[in-house]
Amino acid sequence: MQIIPLHPNDRIQLKKPHPCGSNVFLILRVGSEVRVICEGCKRDMTLDRVKLEKSIKKVLPQSEQE
């Protein structure tokens, strides 16, 4: 199993898009649960870390931020 390092302020791209259509999320807090904000609608969600890691498509490096 792959362990994905996650840090606050990282942006992640998920396999499944949010209902608003965006699939990029900003990480606010990392623990056994991860708090993220949807970049599309700015709603925040708290997700179980294990489930979140499985649904990550890609972690966007800081340097690729627009």
Kindly list the residues in this chain that would bind Zn ion in the complex (CB under 5 A): 18, 20, 38, 40-41
Give kind and range of the element (H or E) at residue 55: helix 49-55
Of 30 and 37, nearer to Zn ion (C-beta) is 37
**Least distance (Å) between residue 24 CB and Zn ion:** 9
Closest CA relative to residue 4, chosen from 65, 58, 44, 66 = 58
Tokens matching residue 62: 């800081």
The residue with tokens 């993220």 is 36
Of 2 and 47, nearer to Zn ion (C-beta) is 47
**Least distance (Å) between residue 22 CB and Zn ion:** 5
